[in-house]
Amino acid sequence: MQVELIAASLDRQTYLTTWLESLGGFELRAQVRPDGPGWPRHIALEGVDMLVLDSPVDAQQQDLAVLSEWVRRQPSLGVMQLTDDNDPSFLLQAMRAGVREVLGLHPEKSDLMEAMHRLQRHVLSFQAQASEARAQTRTPGRMAAFMPCKGGSGATFIATNVAYLLAQTYQQDTVLVDLDLQLADASYYLSNDEHRNNLLDLTRHLERLDPHLFQSSLHPIIPHLFLLAAPNVAELHIDITPAQIERVLQLARREDSTVLLDLPPRLDTVTLQAMDMVDELFLLMDNTVPQVRDAKRLLTMLRAQGFGDDKLRLVLNKRHPGSDITPEHIETTLGLKIAHTLPADAVTALQAINQGVPLMSLNASSPLVQALHELIQKTWQLHAPKRKSWLERWF
């Protein structure tokens, strides 16, 4: 059970840390409340189960507003507020804000222990109920992978933008799993934030892998969109096995309606395991001779591994109008129909790549964005929500 302590000062952090660590059974992370009115923006509660907030009297009302917003975003969060204000009206406000336990600034150890255990029971009960509700209502999600036939085909760029559109426009709960363990560019295209947890954290703890641990390892990008990041460079020496990947992806598929995988341009045991589990495998290429040659080589290897053409979706990306390699030539050479053609939009794509933002946020009317909509609607049988007219928005 991960506990976050936010103390009012360094002395208070030392004092409260000593008390909380003496209880045992919790993974404690402590910090001092940052200065300034905007301090909540600097607090990351990703993966946190219980929050202990040291609340000085002069900051109580502001703290209640902050806590109310945090609980709204993360309903399973168990909150304890430390304050010497025992006024009934304040306690009622705290309860309405989602605070489960209110103790004094210098609680007795026995009171603190009982309150922490009550809070723990509340969190576990909430998580169990939420997991049961999801299991009863959720059908297994659809899983698709994006793989370049050759480096530079734009597979990661397309995968991240498809994920963003699925979440933003179609309101689909979407998890993007970065399985390019060496390059790991997916996080750059969606967010430059550091990720406290990544894929390796899940594979290290398979014995306790459950929906809560899985969800706590995801990095939220926007509503409905989450990223399971690849390990950082310092951790690349640690092997991830196909069996571990299978367990993680099974849980991902059970928990979310859409799972997208960003795959590297190589076939290894981990990549093959992931490819074996997907419903569609999008193979990206452009219409140049080196790309066609590598695509033919890749398809030969995939077919030798038992992958049928019914799972493969050939995507012609960044089509070069002046190339002698026509779509018909590609289909004849590869023995596979082109499922989707994505037009080149070099200006918008380059801006999005350089800024590390989705295409839609720069130019929603880009022909490339429209082509991605068509890919999504055809693959997932979805329809974009009808935009209300200015008159409808008034009523």
Q: What's the average model confidence in pLDDT over 64-90?
A: 84
Q: What's the CA gap between 116 and 136, in Å, rounded?
A: 30
Q: Residue 137: what pLDDT?
A: 47
- Could you give the domains of the chain? 2-136 (3.40.50.2300), 141-380 (3.40.50.300)
pTM, 2 dp? 0.66
Q: Given its phi and psi angles, is residue 50 left (phi above 0), alpha (psi -120 to 50 degrees) or beta? A: beta
First to last CA, the chain: 46
Provide the percentage of residues in the chain whose pLDDT is more than 70.
89
Q: Which of 163, 174, 180, 380 lies closest to 271, judged by CA?
A: 180
Which residues are bridge partners to 250 per DSSP?
A: none
Residue length, the chain? 395
Per residue in 83-122, pLDDT (tens digit) is 888 788 888 888 888 888 999 888 888 888 898 888 888 8
Whether 3 has a pLDDT exceeding 50, the answer reads: yes
Question: Region 153-165: what's the mean pLDDT?
Answer: 93
Per-residue pLDDT at 395: 46
Q: How does pLDDT run across 315-356, given as a tens digit for each residue?
A: 999 777 777 889 999 999 999 999 999 998 888 888 888 888
Strand 225-228, strand 219-222: pairing: antiparallel
Quick one: average pLDDT of 242-263?
Answer: 89
In tens, the pLDDT along 167-199 reads 999 999 999 999 988 777 787 777 665 666 788
Q: Bigger pLDDT: 282 or 25?
A: 282
What is the residue-wise DSSP string for 142-160?
EEEEEEESSTTS-HHHHHH
pLDDT at residue 127 in the model? 74
